[in-house]
Amino acid sequence: MTDSSVLDLAPVVPVVVVEDVADAVPLARALVAGGLRAIEVTLRTPAALDAIRAVADEVPDAVVGAGTVISPQNVADSVAAGARFLVSPGWTDTLLDAMKESGVPFLPGVSTTSEVVALLERGVSEMKFFPAEAAGGVPYLKSLAGPLPQARFCPTGGVSLGSAPSYLALKNVGCVGGSWMLPADAVAARDWARIETLAREAAGLK
């Protein structure tokens, strides 16, 4: 991975919620085997930081990052656990400063034109568009490409296997984030082979 971009690792970044740290490594191995190297582990569960640490330690081909980063403490804890990129649902000046100072690539979340302009003003041109479907989806991002061509996005939130290609066809979209390759029943059953198959299908999207 370059120091500058999360957006070019894969067309799809799986958004992972880990309830049981024991699932983290086999799940990550299944995603990597399917071609999805960049894995966003959300900080929504008590197991999240330990999951990031386990994947960083035991799955060398994975590029594990932290999602739902909403505070400087989240930034510090995630980087200490081995996160190689950071993703936030939104941003403040305080959070942005912490992410910038972390030394790892990051995608601050935006859902409005003003937020995009504010980030460009701060020297940030790569962003998460969230919640993508609820905030206007493909038409909204397409409309931003004209006045703000320097901004690139990873739309996340409601993106599916069916809608992902429409996002990826946009010139200002580098990748999409989603969890459809991680159906709850497959994770509960520890059906890593099924997850690998779904990951391979996602990795093949253009």
Residues with catalytic function:
40, 128
User: Any long-range contacts for 186-195 (C-beta under 8 Å, 24+ apart)?
Assistant: 187/23, 187/27, 190/23, 190/26, 192/26, 192/27, 192/29, 192/30, 193/30, 195/27, 195/30, 195/31, 195/34
Calculate the alpha carbon distances from 148 to 113, 131, 144, 167 in Å.
Answer: 9, 19, 6, 17
Cis bond leading into 131, ω under 30°?
A: yes
Structure tokens at 4: 């500058």
Separation between Cα atoms, residue 120 and residue 154, nearest integer Å: 15
